[in-house]
């Protein structure tokens, strides 16, 4: 029996009893004596627990997803023993559940102590009377009803609401649970259940329930203050508590203040920081993190302590009227940041399999790739603390959606109340992270309303009308959430949706953010014009590509299915019309192939090209009066092995587009391109002339001087068809775009050639870019004479004729400084290789047309 007793009337020091071990689970209906199965550790997910007990075949392999469906249709019960305790008279025992997925009935010693129906809500239940002095350990039992079936029941109870959605069973809209569990256009239908976040037994007399930190920075950035305030629970039973508030940088104490806990349970103090070390995004300076701590004391005894790691930074979402409409970009500590980056989905269908190490590995990938922002998409979860911690440490800005995605959400009174509690709890949990720079109300719910022709009038500001309309969730995005966010985290800008057109249609390119899906979905435009389709901030756009061959082999069970159109490969692609869409972009641009390895390369090349055309153009537009404030690719990651829009696959194997993005987002980059002509419209008769232009983009905060060059290299022979142009000593504008050269291509007199640009800073080559005649399928690629020389940890790559998209093998544990490169004669490129085991085979490689003689 645990003994946490103390002298009468003296408050006890808080302590925590971990409850991660000793659990078992069973099918609720199974009453046999052998029905309980062991759980390795909680948090856990029922499907994974079944896999661990060999009761379920891995749903990520073959067609097993279908065989796993029954799990989501059943009710599951988990249990663990709660130790009996002898508590001091002043102590209470509280069971803290950080997250239950989703319809949970919690019983202690057979009595119901909690019923929960929102996965995103934490719960605390006082169980003092149960555990104190009990003669036995008590069973804690949690029954999880089938969320899939309950969702349908709730939907049926609301026949007046129009349940419409993109992706998944529309009943999902009635349930506060990760929406992608219902299946998405990149993810399987695996309706999970379980204790998905930690459970603890907390013993204390008083406790700091909340620590809030409001940071204010002087206009000259020479000083800052942190208003730290705490809410103390059970203070009224223990008057005369003292509080100490401190701020530290590493081990160095910067400031502290002592105060009393008031009769209302609150205490606050102002902490001062002179010459603060500001928190800056990746690439713009350091990510200094301060720790603000609060302790409460009774006499000299510290009863409870809390701390938050914060950053000193301010953020502005600059939305100002301009010649194009209204700007939309982020300014951090006075610096305008072009937010090139990615959208993020949950990293696993089974959330509890994402370890802190995995989170770190994902976010670490973004840093060398020059990515600045990650968008947590609204169909997943408010992420685990580890996610935000790593973003804070590495300087990755976070765009945080609230958890609503692709649907017309109902607003019946119970759900509104639950959503409000969910919003408050999650904003409080994450608001101190300096990486979080925006809250957005939802993902594409306005687009659903627009495309389903729901009745709404952006001019109507009457909230009661919204609730009574057939698009009631406007109330959530334009009233409930902004209210919570302004009260709980006024330092984080709020935006009603992603996308949101500020009262105009959500696809309006002149205002707000925009999801540009007319490449791939929609009108299936050519990706060569991606930049002309953008808005003020492109928070989604993308192109699918096959994953790595090893990832494909991880789920294909039979050798004979290793071909691009096999049933199992199609099954591991959930996107509507994916065969047609991939095929369209392939046949429009490249000579296709039926061999799996070449098909993988071709789809990956198309993804590289598409994303490059988007990012390169939008970054150029950044320098044009902040025409475009950022671009976030759909999507960084996958939740299972699949063909999707991800640029890195489920097993963290990079697709070539990862490198292409990194190059166009480099701190200083050169861009070169000829004007687009649509070859299918002109029936392959090229226009007689095409303009070309060369520019430089820089995210440096001061003007710099650079040298640039452009060569005109015949695709067929590798010879330069005309004199190269060299421009020395050009002044490159700080944090902007500098137009450098313009010219004309004569398509009658000049043979098809590559424009090959390079840029030097202080004599050092820092970036390249190439522009190819389009489409690539019309170009001849025989006899490229590629040479890859391994020199220590480097590969020196050269060719005698222009090479498109030379991709190196992605080997486990290996990190490459670059890949998916274009090569022109006379310009050897050096690739650094990290992690290649001594004595192992050199890395394999391929390129477009590698098979041509």
Contact 380, 671 (CB under 8 A): no
Among 255, 392, 540, 709, binds ligand BMA (CB under 6 A): 540
What 3-state DSSP class applies to 211? Answer: strand
If the CB atoms of residues 11 and 499 are measured against ligand BMA, the closer one turns out to be 499
> Smallest distance from the beta carbon of 406 to ligand BMA, in angstroms?
5
> Smallest distance from the beta carbon of 191 to ligand BMA, in angstroms?
18
If the CB atoms of residues 170 and 698 are measured against ligand BMA, the closer one turns out to be 170
Distance CA 163, CA 184 (A): 17
> Smallest distance from the beta carbon of 378 to ligand BMA, in angstroms?
8
If the CB atoms of residues 203 and 633 are measured against ligand BMA, the closer one turns out to be 633
> Smallest distance from the beta carbon of 832 to ligand BMA, in angstroms?
34
444 binds ligand BMA (CB under 6 A): yes
Distance CA 104, CA 72 (A): 14
**How is the beta sheet containing 252-260 ordered, strand by strand?**
252-260, 242-249, 290-298, 301-310
Structure tokens given for 178: 């990760």
If the CB atoms of residues 103 and 500 are measured against ligand BMA, the closer one turns out to be 500
If the CB atoms of residues 407 and 434 are measured against ligand BMA, the closer one turns out to be 407
If the CB atoms of residues 295 and 635 are measured against ligand BMA, the closer one turns out to be 635
Query: Looking at 30-38, 182-190, 468-476, 822-830, which segment touches ligand BMA (CB under 6 A)?
Result: 182-190
Distances (CA, A) of 63 to 59, 66, 135, 578, 649: 7, 6, 50, 18, 19
Residue 338: which of 814, 568, 661, 657 has the closest Cα? 661
Query: Looking at 74-82, 183-191, 280-288, 768-776, which segment touches ligand BMA (CB under 6 A)?
Result: 183-191
What 3-state DSSP class applies to 521? Answer: coil
Q: Which residues pair with 743 in a beta bridge?
A: 692
User: Phi/psi at 41 (nearest 5 deg)?
Assistant: -170, 145
If the CB atoms of residues 401 and 769 are measured against ligand BMA, the closer one turns out to be 401
**How is the beta sheet containing 207-217 ordered, strand by strand?**
207-217, 223-233, 266-274
Binding mask 379-398 for ligand BMA (x = CB under 6 A): x-------------------
Residue 446: alpha-carbon gap to chain centroid: 21
Residue 405: which of 361, 374, 372, 375 has the closest Cα? 375
If the CB atoms of residues 101 and 185 are measured against ligand BMA, the closer one turns out to be 185
Contact 57, 67 (CB under 8 A): yes
> Smallest distance from the beta carbon of 166 to ligand BMA, in angstroms?
6
Structure tokens given for 850: 């590698």
DSSP string, 174-205: GSBS-GGGEEETTEEE----EE-S-EEEEEES
Among 443, 621, 637, 699, binds ligand BMA (CB under 6 A): 443
Q: In angstroms, what is the C-alpha Rg of the chain?
A: 29
> Smallest distance from the beta carbon of 518 to ligand BMA, in angstroms?
12
> Smallest distance from the beta carbon of 181 to ligand BMA, in angstroms?
14
If the CB atoms of residues 258 and 576 are measured against ligand BMA, the closer one turns out to be 576
685 contact partners, CB below 8 Å, separation of at least 6: none
Q: Which residues pair with 292 in a beta bridge?
A: 247, 308
If the CB atoms of residues 166 and 622 are measured against ligand BMA, the closer one turns out to be 166
Residue 168: which of 354, 400, 439, 444 has the closest Cα? 444
Distances (CA, A) of 237 to 91, 183, 263, 653, 722: 11, 49, 10, 56, 87
Binding mask 123-142 for ligand BMA (x = CB under 6 A): --------------------
**Rule CB under 6 A: which of 617-646 touch ligand BMA?**
634
If the CB atoms of residues 271 and 440 are measured against ligand BMA, the closer one turns out to be 440
537 binds ligand BMA (CB under 6 A): no
Contact 754, 709 (CB under 8 A): no
| Helices vs. strands in the chain: H and E counts, helices first | 16, 50
Structure tokens given for 384: 């685990």
**Rule CB under 6 A: which of 396-435 touch ligand BMA?**
406
Pick the catalytic residue from 65, 143, 383, 444: 444
> Smallest distance from the beta carbon of 441 to ligand BMA, in angstroms?
14
Residue 716 class from Cβ within 10 Å (0-12 exposed, 13-18 middle, 19+ buried)?
A: middle
> Smallest distance from the beta carbon of 531 to ligand BMA, in angstroms?
19
185 binds ligand BMA (CB under 6 A): yes
Query: Looking at 181-189, 544-552, 686-694, 777-785, which segment touches ligand BMA (CB under 6 A)?
Result: 181-189
Give first-to-last CA distance, the chain, whole Å. Answer: 79
733 contact partners, CB below 8 Å, separation of at least 6: 623, 698, 703
If the CB atoms of residues 292 and 345 are measured against ligand BMA, the closer one turns out to be 345
User: Phi/psi at 37 (nearest 5 deg)?
Assistant: -115, 150
> Smallest distance from the beta carbon of 655 to ligand BMA, in angstroms?
16
Contact 849, 782 (CB under 8 A): yes
> Smallest distance from the beta carbon of 520 to ligand BMA, in angstroms?
8
Number of residues in contact with ligand BMA under rule CB under 6 A: 11
**Rule CB under 6 A: which of 469-508 touch ligand BMA?**
none
23 contact partners, CB below 8 Å, separation of at least 6: 38, 39, 41, 42, 44, 78, 79, 80, 195
**Rule CB under 6 A: which of 718-757 touch ligand BMA?**
none
Residue 245 class from Cβ within 10 Å (0-12 exposed, 13-18 middle, 19+ buried)?
A: buried
**Rule CB under 6 A: which of 281-340 touch ligand BMA?**
none
Query: Looking at 87-95, 170-178, 180-188, 381-389, which segment touches ligand BMA (CB under 6 A)?
Result: 180-188
Distances (CA, A) of 155 to 104, 170, 173, 274: 19, 8, 8, 56
Structure tokens given for 42: 């909680």
> Smallest distance from the beta carbon of 447 to ligand BMA, in angstroms?
8
- 202 catalytic per annotation: no
Structure tokens given for 525: 């435009």
If the CB atoms of residues 539 and 737 are measured against ligand BMA, the closer one turns out to be 539
Structure tokens given for 264: 């209302």
> Smallest distance from the beta carbon of 634 to ligand BMA, in angstroms?
5
Residue 352 is given by DSSP the state G
Binding mask 25-54 for ligand BMA (x = CB under 6 A): ------------------------------
Neighbours of 402 (CB within 10 A): 29
Among 97, 120, 130, 184, binds ligand BMA (CB under 6 A): 184
Query: Looking at 87-95, 179-187, 272-280, 625-633, which segment touches ligand BMA (CB under 6 A)?
Result: 179-187
Distance CA 25, CA 193 (A): 12
Contact 277, 286 (CB under 8 A): yes
Distance CA 154, CA 158 (A): 7
Residues that bind ligand BMA (CB under 6 A): 167, 184-186, 379, 406, 443-444, 515, 540, 634
Task: Give me the active site residues, please.
Answer: 444
């Amino acid at each position: 029996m645990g003994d946490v007793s103390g002298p009468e009337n003296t408050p006890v020091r808080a302590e925590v009893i971990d409850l991660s071990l000793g659990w078992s689970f069973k099918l609720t209906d199974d009453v046999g004596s052998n029905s309980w199965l062991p759980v390795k550790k909680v948090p856990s997910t029922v499907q994974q627990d079944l896999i661990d007990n060999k009761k379920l075949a891995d749903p990520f392999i073959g067609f097993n997803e279908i065989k796993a469906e029954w799990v989501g249709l059943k009710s599951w019960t988990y249990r663990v023993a709660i130790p009996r305790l002898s508590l001091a008279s002043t102590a209470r025992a509280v069971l803290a559940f950080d997250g239950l997925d989703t319809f949970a009935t919690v019983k202690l010693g057979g009595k119901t102590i909690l019923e929960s129906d929102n996965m995103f809500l934490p719960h605390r239940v006082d169980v003092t009377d149960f555990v104190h002095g009990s003669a036995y350990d008590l069973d804690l039992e949690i029954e999880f009803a089938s969320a899939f079936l309950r969702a349908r029941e709730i939907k049926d109870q609301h026949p007046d609401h129009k349940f419409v959605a993109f992706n998944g069973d529309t009943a999902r809209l009635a349930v506060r649970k990760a929406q992608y569990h219902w299946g998405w256009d990149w993810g399987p239908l695996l309706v999970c259940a379980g204790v998905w976040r930690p459970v603890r037994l907390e013993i204390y007399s008083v406790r700091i329930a909340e620590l809030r930190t409001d940071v204010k920075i002087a206009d000259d950035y020479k000083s800052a203050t942190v208003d730290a305030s705490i809410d103390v629970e059970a203070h009224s039973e223990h008057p005369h508590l003292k509080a100490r508030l401190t701020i530290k940088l590493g081990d160095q104490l910067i400031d502290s203040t002592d105060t009393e806990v008031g009769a209302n349970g609150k205490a606050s103090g102002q902490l001062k920081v002179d010459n603060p070390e500001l928190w800056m995004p990746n690439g713009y300076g350091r990510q200094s993190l301060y720790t603000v701590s609060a302790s409460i004391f009774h006499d000299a005894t510290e009863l409870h302590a809390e701390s938050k790691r914060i950053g000193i930074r301010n953020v502005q979402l600059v939305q100002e009227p301009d010649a194009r409409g209204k700007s939309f970009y982020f300014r951090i500590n006075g610096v305008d940041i072009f937010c090139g980056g990615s959208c993020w989905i949950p990293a696993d269908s089974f959330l509890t399999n994402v370890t802190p190490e995995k989170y770190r590995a994902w976010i670490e990938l973004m840093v060398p790739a020059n990515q600045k922002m990650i968008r947590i998409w609204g169909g997943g979860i408010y992420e685990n603390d580890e996610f935000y911690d790593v973003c804070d440490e590495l300087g990755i800005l976070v765009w945080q959606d609230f958890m609503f995605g692709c649907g017309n959400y109902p607003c019946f009174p119970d759900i509104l109340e639950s959503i409000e509690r969910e919003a408050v709890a999650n904003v409080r949990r994450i608001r101190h992270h300096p990486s979080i720079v925006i809250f957005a109300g939802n993902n594409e719910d306005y687009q659903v309303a627009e495309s389903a022709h729901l009745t709404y009038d952006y001019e109507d500001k009457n909230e009661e009308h919204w609730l009574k309309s057939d698009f009631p969730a406007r109330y959530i995005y334009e009233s409930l959430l902004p209210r919570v966010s302004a009260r709980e985290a006024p330092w984080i800008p709020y935006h009603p949706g992603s996308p949101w057109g500020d009262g105009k249609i959500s696809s309006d390119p002149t205002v707000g953010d925009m999801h540009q899906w007319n490449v791939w979905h929609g009108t299936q435009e050519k990706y060569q014009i991606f930049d002309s389709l953008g808005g003020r901030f492109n928070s989604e756009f993308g192109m699918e590509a096959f994953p790595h061959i090893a990832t494909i082999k991880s789920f294909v069970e039979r050798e004979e299915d290793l071909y691009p159109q096999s049933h199992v490969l199609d099954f591991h692609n959930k996107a509507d019309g994916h065969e047609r869409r991939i095929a369209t972009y392939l046949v429009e641009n490249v000579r296709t192939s039926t061999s799996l390895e070449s098909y993988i390369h071709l789809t990956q090349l198309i993804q590289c090209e598409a994303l490059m055309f988007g990012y390169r153009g939008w970054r150029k537009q950044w320098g044009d009066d902040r025409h475009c404030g950022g671009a976030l690719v759909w999507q960084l990651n996958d939740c299972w092995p699949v063909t999707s829009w991800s640029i890195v696959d489920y097993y963290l194997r990079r697709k070539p587009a990862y490198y292409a993005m990194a190059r166009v987002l480099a701190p200083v980059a050169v861009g070169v391109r000829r004007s687009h002509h649509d070859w299918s419209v002109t029936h392959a008769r090229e226009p007689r002339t095409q303009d070309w232009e060369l520019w430089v983009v820089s995210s440096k905060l001061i003007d710099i001087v650079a040298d640039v060059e452009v060569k005109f290299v015949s695709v067929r022979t590798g010879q330069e068809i005309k004199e190269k142009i060299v421009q020395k000593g050009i002044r490159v504008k700080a944090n902007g775009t500098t137009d450098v050269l313009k010219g004309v291509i004569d398509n009658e007199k000049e043979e098809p050639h590559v424009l090959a640009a390079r840029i030097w800073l202080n004599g050092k080559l820092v970036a390249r870019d190439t522009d190819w005649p389009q489409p690539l399928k019309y170009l001849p690629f025989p006899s490229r004479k590629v040479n890859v020389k391994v020199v220590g940890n480097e590969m020196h790559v050269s060719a005698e004729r222009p090479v498109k998209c030379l991709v190196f093998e992605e080997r486990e544990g290996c990190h490459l400084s670059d890949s998916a490169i274009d090569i022109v004669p006379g310009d050897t490129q050096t690739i650094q290789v990290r992690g290649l085991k001594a004595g192992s085979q050199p890395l394999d490689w391929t390129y477009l047309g590698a098979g041509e003689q």
